[in-house]
Amino acid sequence: MTDNGSGSAGGGGVRLVRVPDDRDGQRLDNFLLGQLKGAPRSIIYKIVRSGQVRVNGGRAKPERKLDAGDEVRIPPVRLEAPGEAGTPSKGLLAAMDASIVFEDARLLAISKPSGIASHGGSGISFGVIETLRALRPTQSLELVHRLDRDTSGLMVLAKKRSALTQLQALLREDHGAGIRKRYLTLLAGRMPDGTMSVDAPLHVGLRQGGERHVQVNPAGKESLSHFGALERRGGQSYCEVRIETGRTHQIRVHAQHIGHPVAGDDKYGDVEVNKRMRDQIGLRRLFLHAASLEFTLDDGEAYLLNAPLADDLREALDRLR
């Protein structure tokens, strides 16, 4: 049985779906999310890694890029019946609505609050994408990129497939040529004047229990960050960071690598600094904020999108003397 349309999870048997032309270059996991409507990402990864999903008859990884015409074997997936999964809370819907900082015919940009995941899974029912889709049920919305759950700031979603394809292509360009990304952070200790560039490859490993842990490792992927001190307060450094690659936990691990970890980072940070920042200025989370994205789409339209520093971080910074 060969199917060319989008499907839904639930009953039926195995489906063989041919990748249409407009999905050329899409990741396998994202393609499956479109085919298995309502399936959490955790189930998508489970069926891919267990070998139940096949591409042209062979096993594939979730991040595999599909080609138009590929044949994808999709097993039946049992989901909760409509109504069982529930909906995002009114508070979460309101917070996501208030977080919108830009919108046009093809893009939607939000300033993501800290503590909200980019997408559901691993015990999280509703992330950014699920909540926004609930808020805008008649629109087509796709994540262009992701932010760590604890990181606040700018996230961009595509309302049109053409915009998604263009932006994902820009993200793949080397050395920040496609999309220029700027973050704001508070680093422990006094950073030197000028810009400190960190060119250190990063490797993602798994700890017991499946938790991701990233470290500088020659066998890792090329990673380049530029740290610049904006201001020094209370012996700490308020900095901007421009990254030319988008590796998992890149800023946090590079900051640790140069001996100036991000304040409030409970994974890669300094325990004593974190405690001091919590007691002195009320900083209770990671001080890392995605501040801006700058890019130009194929038709020549240039975008400079900004998300002001989150209120809790601004207030903590104001208390630091």
Q: State the catalytic residue, choosing from 21, 67, 70, 148.
A: 148
DSSP alpha helices (H): ranges in the chain?
A: 28-35, 41-49, 90-98, 128-135, 161-172, 250-257, 271-281, 311-319
The answer to whether 249 touches 148, Cβ cutoff 8 Å, is yes
Residue 228 CA to residue 194 CA, distance in Å, equals: 6
The CA–CA distances, whole Å, from 29 to 36, 119, 186 equal 10, 13, 34
- Output the six-digit token pair for 184: 């704001």
Nearest residue to 76 (alpha-carbon basis) of 20, 7, 149, 131: 7
Count helices and strands in the chain by DSSP H and E runs: 8, 16
Residue 200 CA to residue 231 CA, distance in Å, equals: 25
Pseudo-torsion of CA 32, 213, 156, 111, nearest 10°?
130
148 is catalytic: yes
Q: Which residues are catalytic?
A: 148
